[in-house]
Amino acid sequence: MASHVSEIAAFVGFFLYGSFFEWTLHKYFMHQPRWQYPFRAHALVHHGLFRTGDDYFLSDKKNLKKVRFAWWNAPLIIGLHIPAILLLQYLLGASILFGACAAIAVYYGLYEYLHYCMHIPSGRWIEQTRWFRWLDAHHHMHHKRHFNNLNVVLPLADAVFGSLIRSKGRIPVPDRKQGAYTMQTLLR
Ligand SMILES: [Zn+2]
Ligand SMILES: [Zn+2]
């Protein structure tokens, strides 16, 4: 029973941590040339292909692969966390490995799915929710101001570190209905 509690607490804690990890990775490795791979793939390629307004949506079928990360990023990110999680588990004397890994995996999966939906509209139910529309407008603004709105999933770190552009400071988002229509023809 106690291990369930610690695993659930680990899930919540590591999900919140995910926001800070996402923010740091995005700001320091995806937008600054510390390591060429993420900088090229994100700052040059992703931000080069996807801009604001109508250019926020996919414009060429061949760029479909440029929306998501390469498949090996997920095991790499989770794997890099395992030694630290095991150390923390040892220090706390409570089982947290499953909850912590699940939180990182869920956060990562949400990042990939939400970000994909943001750039490739297709009238999904999730796109109609206020929560998604808020997050989407938040990310659209990031494509205008690359060092703001760095979170895609949970803008907690943006709020804590002062990089959050509030709703009233955002530029208007492109029409998702029209975008979904264009995607239908594009991805046929
Ligand atoms: Zn994007
Ligand atoms: Zn970015």
Amino acid 170 reads R
Return the SS3 of 76: helix
Q: Which of the ligands is closest to the CA of residue 42? A: 2
**Position 101 pLDDT exceeds 60:** yes
Question: By the 8 A CB rule, do 92 and 69 touch?
Answer: no
What's the rounded mean pLDDT across residues 141-155? 98
- What's the 66 CA to ligand 2 centre distance in angstroms? 13
Extents of the domains making up the chain:
2-186
pLDDT digits 0-9 by tens, 104-113: 999 999 999 9
How many CB atoms are closer than 10 A to CB 17? Answer: 18
Give the span between the Cα atoms of 68 and 115, in whole angstroms.
Answer: 8
Q: Whose atoms come closest to the Cα of 49: which ligand?
A: 1
At residue 1, the pLDDT reads 52
pLDDT at 13 over 80: yes
The ligand whose atoms approach the alpha carbon of 50 most closely is: 1
Q: Residue 66 has what pLDDT?
A: 85
Distance 7 CA to ligand 2 centre (A): 32
Query: Is pLDDT at 134 greater than 60 in this prediction?
Result: yes
Quick one: which ligand is closest to 111's CA?
1
Range 166-171 average pLDDT: 96
DSSP 102-144: HHHHHHHHHHHHHHHHHHS----HHHHSHHHHHHHHHHHHHTT
CA 109 to centroid of ligand 2, rounded, Å: 17
